[in-house]
């Protein structure tokens, strides 16, 4: 009987052979199906990610130094892409050693960090309830406040994004965690963590980074740099769909209304005139995929246009830049842009694409 893991492994192996070996058809073996542009882009991104790990199995952070959270995201992506398998055990051992310090800010647990490490542990077939001597799932659920929000940290800039990411991480845990499991006579919308995110949605289907007063309309204010946020909206959508919840307003029309004239999406203020960036484009495409849509070819082509190749240094090939032309001379690889771009390039919707 073929398991899901073995089926995924077969797909990985076929893709790696096609991309890495350039196999020639023989009389007794049909020529392998060439990878799609998205598969090739994802594989090349994985090769670049794999090369960023140090000899000590650490991974650089987006702002310098080493980051266990970035390592976790890379480990999860690489496992799904079938890249760097020979080094995975050593990298997981390093992540396990770094986890206790990585999940706290010194006072409170950090839900986003817990979520990323949970995703990595699940992706590699581990148990997030027993990793680094810790129950990471219980620790994440324990960060839910009385209002349903994950984390004691200020939600001003990432409250909605953080909430969606936490729900996405919990969605891949088996058995299903209590915080996303309705009791008798309940629906998902009755659960505090889910209700908080649903209440944050704006009337047009968008989300802001955070709304302190959800009874008031979502008003954008350039003077205070307050805008609806495509990244927050995308992660909210990914988190809700991952647990099987439905937003009060389908965000699809809003995503399409703020799509850039260049074919992708910008961050904020999200609008057709806002230049697209790799992070926003990748996350929105992933959100649309999770909603059951198939974005058009232009959306994917725009996303892939942020990938470094051509005459750039070979060591940078496969990475994504945040945005052109800011990074054009020379092209500067962005760890976050690469992670967010790959989210949209898996053959399956994220985060389910990470599950063995």
Q: Over the stretch 67-76, which tens digit does the pLDDT of each residue have? A: 999 999 999 9
Low-confidence winner among 24-28, 57-61, 163-167 (lowest mean pLDDT): 24-28
Give Cα separations from 285 to 3, 25, 205, 290 (angstroms).
Answer: 29, 35, 16, 9
User: What is d(CA 291, CA 344) in angstroms, rounded to the nearest whole number?
Assistant: 13
Tokens found for residue 176: 């299903």
As its CATH architecture, domain 36-177+188-354 has Alpha/alpha barrel (1.50)
Identify the pLDDT of residue 11: 47
Confidence check: pLDDT of 126 > 90: yes
Domain ranges of the chain: 1-35, 36-177+188-354
pLDDT confidence of residue 12:
55
pLDDT reading at 328 higher than 70: no
| CA–CA dist 112, 315 (Å, integer) | 30
The pTM assigned to this predicted structure is: 0.92
What does the alpha-carbon distance between residue 295 and residue 349 come to, in Å, rounded to a whole number?
A: 13
User: For position 211, what pLDDT does the model report?
Assistant: 96
pLDDT top residue among 267 and 352: 352
List all residues 6 or more positions away from 242 whose beta carbon is below 8 Å from its beta carbon: 167, 168, 171, 172, 290, 351, 352
Which residues are CB-contacts of 298 (< 8 A; sequence separation ≥ 6)? Answer: 263
| Residue 193 or residue 272, greater confidence | 193
Q: At what angle do helices 159-171 and 111-123 cross, to 10 degrees?
A: 30
Question: Considering the chain, what is the average pLDDT of its residues?
Answer: 92
pLDDT for 4-49, tens place per residue? 333 454 445 555 555 555 544 444 567 788 999 999 999 999 999 9
- Report d(CA 229, CA 239) in Å as an integer: 15
HSE-CB of 99 using CA atoms within 13 angstroms: 27
Q: How far apart are CA 58 and CA 55, in angstroms?
A: 8
Lookup: tokens for 60: 């650089």
Tokens of 66: 């080493």
Closest by Cα among 30, 106, 93 to 58: 93
**In angstroms, how far is the first alpha carbon of the chain from the final one?**
16
Asked if 276 and 230 count as a contact pair (C-beta separation under 8 A), the reply is no
Rg (CA), the chain: 20
Q: Which string of b and e fits 196-233 if b means at least 16 CB within 10 Å?
A: bbbebbbeebbbbbbbeeeeeebebeeeeebbbbbbbb
Interatomic CA distance for residues 231 and 164, integer angstroms: 11
């Amino acid at each position: 009987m073929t398991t899901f893991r073995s089926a995924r492994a077969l797909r990985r192996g076929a893709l790696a052979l096609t991309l890495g070996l350039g196999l020639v058809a023989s009389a007794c073996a049909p020529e392998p199906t060439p990878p799609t542009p998205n598969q090739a882009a994802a594989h090349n991104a994985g090769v670049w990610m794999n090369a960023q790990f140090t000899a000590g199995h650490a991974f650089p952070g987006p702002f310098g130094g080493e980051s266990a959270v970035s390592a976790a995201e890379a480990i999860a992506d690489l496992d799904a892409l079938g890249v760097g398998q020979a080094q995975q055990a050593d990298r997981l051992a390093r992540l396990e050693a770094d986890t206790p310090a990585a999940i706290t800010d010194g006072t409170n647990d950090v839900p986003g960090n817990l979520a990323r490490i949970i995703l990595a542990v699940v992706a590699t077939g581990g148990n997030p309830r027993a990793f680094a001597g810790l129950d990471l799932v219980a620790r994440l659920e324990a960060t839910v406040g009385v209002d349903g929000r994950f984390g004691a940290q200020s939600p001003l800039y990432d409250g909605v994004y953080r909430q969606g990411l936490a729900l996405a991480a919990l969605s891949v845990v088996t058995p299903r965690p209590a915080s996303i499991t309705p009791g008798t006579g309940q629906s998902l919308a009755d659960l505090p963590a889910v209700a908080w995110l649903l209440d944050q949605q704006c009337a047009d289907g968008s989300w802001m980074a955070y709304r302190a007063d959800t009874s008031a309309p979502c008003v954008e204010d350039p003077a205070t740099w307050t805008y609806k946020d495509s990244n927050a909206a995308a992660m909210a959508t990914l988190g809700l769909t991952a647990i099987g919840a439905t937003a009060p307003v389908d965000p699809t029309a809003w995503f399409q209304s703020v799509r850039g004239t260049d074919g992708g999406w910008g961050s904020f203020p999200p609008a057709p005139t806002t230049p697209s960036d790799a992070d926003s484009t990748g996350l929105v495409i992933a959100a649309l995929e999770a909603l059951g849509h198939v974005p058009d070819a232009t959306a994917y082509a725009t996303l892939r246009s942020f990938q470094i190749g051509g005459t750039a240094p070979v060591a940078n090939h496969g990475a994504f830049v945040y945005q052109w032309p800011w990074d054009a001379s020379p092209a500067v690889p962005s760890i976050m842009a690469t992670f967010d771009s790959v989210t949209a390039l898996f053959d399956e919707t994220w985060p389910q694409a990470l599950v063995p």
